[in-house]
Amino acid sequence: MTFNHQFSRLFQLDKIQPPRDFLPMSSDFWQINVNNICLEIGAGKGKHALQFAKNNPNFQLIAIERTEQKFVAMQKVANAETFANLTVIHADAVAWAVHGVPKQSLAQIFILYPNPEPHNPNQRWLNMPFFEFLLSRLQPNGKITLASNIADYIDEAYQKSVDIWQLPTLKSQVPTDSERTHFEVKYLARGETCWQLDITKPSDYCTRFDDV
């Protein structure tokens, strides 16, 4: 199956330069860990990344954070814990994914409490042409987990996922005792409701980047 291309601009791969000081993962990394590699976009200070690495020793997690201050905090904790299944990256996630992630290589992608981009909705993840490329890096039956405390953001993302990207999508409320990220802890402590989308890529799903 494929989505309706007329509703999505084609992502311009040739416009994306490699991140500064880009060091790709080795080919052995992708081959040895096939079917067990996950990506976290906007990992912040690494709270979820560390929890995931600890609780899922059979999976490799690549945690990317663009903001230097947050990345340094995550790197410090990651170095202290020395999890062999966690790699932290300081880079823009779009550029790093374009130049560093092979097609159909990721079992799961986490996007937890992203910037809602209130003044630029086109920069929301499911509104971006890049999202098609990101789907091409996901394995068949792979999953994307998106969480936010903003109901309108989640509702829009759900609509885009189902109607535009034509992906099986489940919407659920985050348990009030969940502690995956610092944002999640803060929002739930204030009594806010947090929401999650679990998006699955069907085994026969096609994108325009499957051969790239």
Say how far apart CA 175 and CA 194 lie, in whole Å.
8
Q: Say which CATH architecture domain 38-200 belongs to.
A: 3-Layer(aba) Sandwich (3.40)
Q: Which residues of the chain have pLDDT under 70?
A: 2-7
pLDDT value at position 4? 63
Tens-digit pLDDT profile for residues 29-50? 999 999 999 999 999 999 999 9
The answer to whether the predicted template modeling score (pTM) of the entire model surpasses 0.75 is yes
Domains of the chain, residue spans: 38-200
- The dihedral through the CA atoms of 171, 177, 180, 183 has a sign that is positive
The neighbouring-strand residues paired with 148 are: 195
Q: How far apart (Å, rounded) are the C-alpha atoms in residues 76 and 71?
A: 8
